[in-house]
Structures are given as structure tokens and as C-alpha cells.
Amino acid sequence: MISTLIMYLSYPFVRYALIVGVLIAFCSSLLGVTLVLKRFSFIGDGLSHVAFGGIAIASVLNLTNEMLIVMPFTVISAVLLLRTGQNTRIKGDAAIAMISVGALAFGYLLMNIFSTSSNLSGDVCSTLFGSTSILTLTRGEVILCSVLSVAVTLIFIFFYNRIFAVTFDENFARSAGTKADNYNLLIAIVIAVIIVLAMNLVGSLLISALVIFPALSAMRVFESFLSVTVCSAVLSVVCAFSGIVISIFAGTPVGSTIVAVDVLAFAVCWLIGRIRGE
Amino acid sequence: MAMLTAKDLSLGYGSDVILKGLNFEVNKGNYLCIVGENGSGKSTLMKTILGLNPPAGGEIVWGDGLQQNEIGYLPQQTVVQKDFPASVKEIVLSGCQGRMGRRPFYNKEEKQLAEENIEKMGISALKDRCYRDLSGGQQQRVLLARALCATRKLMLLDEPVSGLDPKVTAEMYALIKSLNDEGTTIIMISHDINAAVRYATHILHIGDKLFFGTKKEYLNSEIGKFFVDEEQIKEDISRLEEVLGKDTVQ
């Protein structure tokens, strides 16, 4: 089995898939803890549907580089969602639901009306559940993904203390002169970037799993913010790596295999938490 | 000059004014209790003092070298915090965030300060414990230690004893009193008028009728006589003495 793995690793596309998969899993888990604790779990889900709408527009316009339109589109939606979260008539969760299903519907509508490919349902399915595109990454895409991942990680480390402060107690942070709104904005933008990146890996319907499962699992077992964050990053990377390897051996879809492993890890952590609690 | 002076202050959100003509001042070493019924505007006043909500009219003047972001704030607990995986140390340290300026990380002095305040609040043994596993009284001590990291000059406490049992409540009041004795100025929001009268030096009563003055003036005023139940206070004190021992209750 090991020798088969080494054989697979000699193909560049497998190496690329593993590198990108691990990087994306790492980044998405970093902010997961904050999103879960701020009760923003569904923002990830909402944004991924928006990104789906973005992809539909990009494919209608026949753009070769989808990122150009999907990235700004998603970032702007993230900012809007966060703004509506505070003191407006339409409450946060309703706003997310509205924007996400709206984008989903318009995306599918656009793809249907201006269809350029012969296999429409296949296209839609692969955008929603992750395609084999993770196995057809080019060198340029791998580099772009690596650069963005490093940027996200640096931002997270640099602002770690502020992010913690704003997550734990926004009012206290404000009273101490921390610009809480700016940090909320930063969190929203970073999450949007991560989601666009992760679309390649697991598809838009499964992204929130990648964001929240490692965080929730780590929260069952660990007791400090730092250890929860570190554990969720490690867990996410391990799950993504083993998910990709399993999917190569078993021929299963990459995205759903990774998420299945994440769910399994959550079950184990939950059990550990329960046993310890008694 | 007073630390904080409210001049003809109006409170509200946007054009919606809920309270008008508020005048009071807080001097160094004062223990001001803000009392009033639910919905009278206590929380709005607090947000305005903290600068989270701009005044609808009038102004708050800061003096005595104090700035708005130098308030040690003890907020009411939020739902988010009930299930928050963070150690006591991490939370107390986050009280130093106002001192960091543009630095991304805490330095040695700030970590030292956090340690000192943890010790001061008597929660050294809980240092590495998870916040969500602590009792209500212990959690309040953690948040008080955090507020102390922000400043030793002025503390703003929002209903510090809500949800605590009588014994822990008494301990909490004693702790706050000891901070005041060491020179920290206290502004406390409370609906517990009897406790307010027992510990405070000054009372600000807001509602349909406004009152600001020393404790003595309040007890002799019409509004004070109406709200304060002297018998209740005597009863409270004797119960406190039973719990804490005679010497600690003044």
C-alpha cells in the first residue's frame, strides 16, 4: 500500500492536489473557531452559495480566470452580510439565507439560460460538490493558492490577540479602544478568500463542513483558545490529507470523502469529551 | 478637576431620546452607584460613558488625566461566553489590549500585570482552567481581573452581582469595596438599591425623576425615602455578618 502511495506521489497532479488540499484545510480551520463562537457558522455556507453565483456569471461571460470575478463578488457579499448582522430589520441568519439561496437560484438560472457546455448537470454538480478539478490543478493555481494561504496564516497570527479579544467580548474590546468593526470586517474578508479557495477542493455545498467541523471537534477536547485553534488546524490537515489519499485509493469523490473523515473525527472527539466529562 | 463630568447630557439612539438633562460628576476615589428601574436608561448611560453610543445631546467631559479608553469595564455576560473555550489566563490577559497600541503581541510587563491581577482576585488556582467550567462568582472574578488590567483608575461595573447567590454576592461587594479603598474610582450600575446605599459614596438615580448627590442626601431625599427600605438594609447587614464575620462588614 505504501509503495502504491509512493507511486501515486510521483505524479505531479497528485502532489499538487495534496499540497493545495492541506493548505486550504489549514487556513479554513484557523478562523473556524471564531466563526463558530461568534455564531457565524452559516456565513461560510451563505458565502459559498454566493461564490457559486459568481462562478455562474464567470462561465456565462466565458472568462478563463474565474477567480477574477468570483473573489471580489464573494468578498463584497461577506462585507454586506456582516453589516446586516448588526441592528437591522432583517436579522443576520435571515439575511444569510436570503443572499445564499438567491445567489444559488440566479447562478443556476444563468447557467441554464446561457449554457455553453453540453453537460450542464455535470457542471453544476461538480461546482456544488467539488469536482475532479483538484486533480487537474496547474502549477500557477498551486502557487496562487500557496501565496494566499501564507497571507491568511500571517494575518491570523499577526492579529491573533485582537481576534481573540473581539470574539470573546466585543463590547469590552470596544471600551478598550479596539476597533472591533474593523476586525469583524477583516474576519469576513479572510473568510471570503478562504471560501473561494476551498471551492476547488470540496465544492460550494460542503465548505462550511471544512470550516466548522475541525473547530467543533477541537472544542470538545481542549480548554484554552490557543490549544483549540492549534488542535483544529492539526485535525483539519490530517483529515484533508487522509481524505485525499483515501479518495485516490477508493476512487471516491474528493470533497465528500474529506468531509466524511471530518465527521468521523468529530465523533471521536465528542466521545473523548464525554468520557472525560464523566 | 473631576474625573468625569456629565453636562446636560441626553441619552438615546439617533433621534430617539430616552433621558434628558443629566448632570453629575465623578471625582477620584468616589463610589458612584447608578440605580433605576428596568428600561430607565442605565445601560444606555453606560454605553455613552464608554463611548460605544454617542450622546444625543450635552457632553461628557474627561478630566484628571483620564481618557475614555482607560476605563476598566465589567460587562454583563453574553451568551457566547457561556460555551467559550478559553483559559482564565487568556481572558485576563486580553484586558491589556488597550495598552498594546500597534503591537500585535503582549509584552512581558503586560503578562506580569495579568499575573498580578489574577493573584489579587484570588483565582491563581484557576489560572489554567477553562472559563466555561467556572462558577458564576469565579467568572465574575476573572472578568474583574481583566478589567483591572485595563486600568486601576476607574472601573465601570454593569450589574456585577446578577445571578450570584447571596454569599458570593456579599464576597463580590466586599471585593469591589476593597478596590475602592485602594483608590480605584468605581461606577456601578445596579438595580439593588439597598446594596447601593450600603457601599456607595454617591448615588445617581435615573428614571422619571432624576437625583444626583451623596448617599446621605439621597437617604434624606423624597425619592430616596421612597425607594430605600431601611429595615431591609439592617436585615441584610446582619445576614452579611453571619456569613462573613463581623469585622469585614462596615
- Rounded CA-CA distance A50/A64 in Å is 19
- The predicted complex's ipTM stands at 0.81
Average pLDDT, chain B: 83
- Rounded CA-CA distance B122/B141 in Å is 8
Pairing of strands B4-13, B57-62: antiparallel
Q: Which tens digits make up the pLDDT trace of B136-191? A: 888 989 999 999 898 888 889 988 888 888 888 888 898 888 889 988 899 999 87
Domain range annotation of chain B:
4-191
Buried/exposed B31-54: b ≥16 CB within 10 Å, e otherwise: bbbbbbeeebbbbbbbbbbbbebe
CB distance B133–A173 less than 8 Å? no
Band the pLDDT of B234: cuts 50, 70, 90. low
Band the pLDDT of B250: cuts 50, 70, 90. very low
**pLDDT, position B243:** 66
Average pLDDT, chain A: 83
Q: Does residue A168 belong to the interface with chain B, where contact is any CB pair within 8 Å? A: yes
Cβ neighbours of A169 in B, within 8 Å:
75, 78, 81, 94
Band the pLDDT of A260: cuts 50, 70, 90. very high
Q: Which tens digits make up the pLDDT trace of A130-159? A: 665 566 677 887 888 889 899 999 999 999
Compare A199 and A263 and report the one with higher pLDDT: A263
State whether the Cα torsion A247-A249-A252-A257 is positive or negative: negative
Compare A272 and B56 and report the one with higher pLDDT: A272
Q: Measured between alpha carbons, how far is residue B156 from residues A111, B57, B146 in Å?
A: 57, 22, 12
- Rounded CA-CA distance B61/A163 in Å is 31
Band the pLDDT of A120: cuts 50, 70, 90. low
Q: Which tens digits make up the pLDDT trace of B97-106? A: 888 877 888 8
Band the pLDDT of A213: cuts 50, 70, 90. very high
Cα B185 to the center of its chain, rounded Å: 10
Give me the half-sphere count of Cα atoms (radius 13 Å) on the Cβ side of residue A74. Answer: 35
**Alpha-helix residue ranges (DSSP H) falling in chain B:** 42-50, 79-82, 88-93, 108-120, 136-150, 166-181, 193-199, 215-220, 222-227, 230-244
**pLDDT, position B230:** 63
Q: Does residue A178 belong to the interface with chain B, where contact is any CB pair within 8 Å? A: yes
The domain defined by A2-277 folds into ABC transporter involved in vitamin B12 uptake, BtuC (1.10.3470)
**pLDDT, position A85:** 52
**pLDDT, position B7:** 87
Domain range annotation of chain A:
2-277
Q: Which tens digits make up the pLDDT trace of A25-44? A: 999 898 888 888 877 777 77
Band the pLDDT of A277: cuts 50, 70, 90. confident
**Alpha-helix residue ranges (DSSP H) falling in chain A:** 2-9, 12-37, 41-60, 67-84, 92-113, 120-129, 139-158, 160-168, 170-175, 180-202, 207-221, 225-250, 254-277
Q: How far is A86 from chain B (nearest CA, A)?
A: 14
Please give the class, per CATH, of domain B4-191. alpha beta
Minimal Cβ distance to A176: which of B69, B86, B90:
B69
Q: Which tens digits make up the pLDDT trace of B58-76? A: 888 888 777 767 788 888 8
Q: Which residue of B has its CA nearest to A157?
A: B104
CB distance A171–B133 less than 8 Å? no
